């Protein structure tokens, strides 16, 4: 019996709290106000035009040719400072290898190289496995690898 009384009191209290009276439909209308035209004063910073001129110069888009290939993920963490440290360590050992930091919330990863075949990626991985034991090879879209120019031999070196 007591629970029924509590339920009924809650229902009646809620209905009175959420009910509206009809006054909102007859909101008092204010008398018309006379509108007068206004003035807008615009003071332009002299640097604005220079910025507009600079930004309006057409910039050619940077096209990078990408192909399917492989990269070696050398480190994975959610701490950006740790990622930067590990990238520096890697770049000191392999200055000719491109590195890329990718962010996929909430983690960062360092990927190295632009390899066309998995075997090329495995060569790098075997070189770094002692220092980066968690390194793995991943399929990725890569930029075209740079072609190393052949070294020309002098006449004395050929003999």
**Mean pLDDT comparison of 2-6, 52-56, 108-112, highest-scoring range:** 108-112
Q: What percent of the chain has pLDDT over 70?
A: 81
107 within 8 A of 76, measured Cβ to Cβ? yes
- Largest separation between any pair of C-alpha atoms in the chain: 113
Domain presence at residue 106: yes
pLDDT in tens, 70-114: 999 999 999 999 999 999 999 999 998 999 999 998 999 999 999
- At residue 28, the pLDDT reads 59
Domain presence at residue 136: yes
Over range 18-33, report the average pLDDT: 58
- At residue 148, the pLDDT reads 72
Domain presence at residue 78: yes
Higher pLDDT, 140 or 32: 140
What one-character DSSP code corresponds to residue 144? P
Domain presence at residue 109: yes
Over range 51-77, report the average pLDDT: 87
Domain presence at residue 51: no
Give the total number of structural domains in the chain. 1
DSSP H helices in 94-150: 118-128
Residue 155 reports pLDDT greater than 80: no
Domain presence at residue 96: yes
pTM above 0.85, yes or no: no
pLDDT in tens, 36-48: 788 888 888 889 8
Strand partners, 73: 111, 136
HEC string for 70-94: EEEEEEEECCHHHHHHHHHHHHHHC
Closest CA to 110 of 22, 131, 11, 23: 131
Domain containing residue 108: CATH number: 3.30.70.1070
Domain presence at residue 158: no
In sequence order, which residues have a C-beta less than 8 Å from that of residue 58 and are 6 or more positions away?
A: none
Range of the domain at 128: 66-143
Domain presence at residue 54: no
């Amino acid at each position: 019996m007591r629970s029924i009384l509590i339920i009924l009191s809650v229902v009646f209290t809620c209905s009175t709290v959420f009910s509206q009276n009809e006054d909102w439909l007859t909101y008092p209308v204010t008398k018309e106000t006379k509108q007068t035209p206004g003035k807008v004063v615009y003071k332009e910073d002299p640097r604005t035009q220079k910025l507009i001129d600079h930004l309006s110069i057409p910039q050619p888009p940077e096209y990078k040719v990408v192909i399917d290939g492989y990269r070696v993920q050398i480190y994975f963490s959610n701490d950006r400072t740790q990622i930067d440290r590990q990238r520096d360590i890697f770049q000191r050992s392999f200055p000719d290898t491109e590195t890329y930091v990718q962010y996929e919330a909430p983690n960062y990863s360092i990927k190295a190289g632009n390899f066309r075949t998995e075997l090329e990626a495995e060569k790098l991985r075997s070189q770094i496995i002692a220092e980066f034991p968690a390194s793995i090879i991943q399929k990725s879209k890569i930029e075209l690898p740079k072609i190393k120019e052949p070294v020309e031999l002098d006449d004395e070196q050929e003999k």
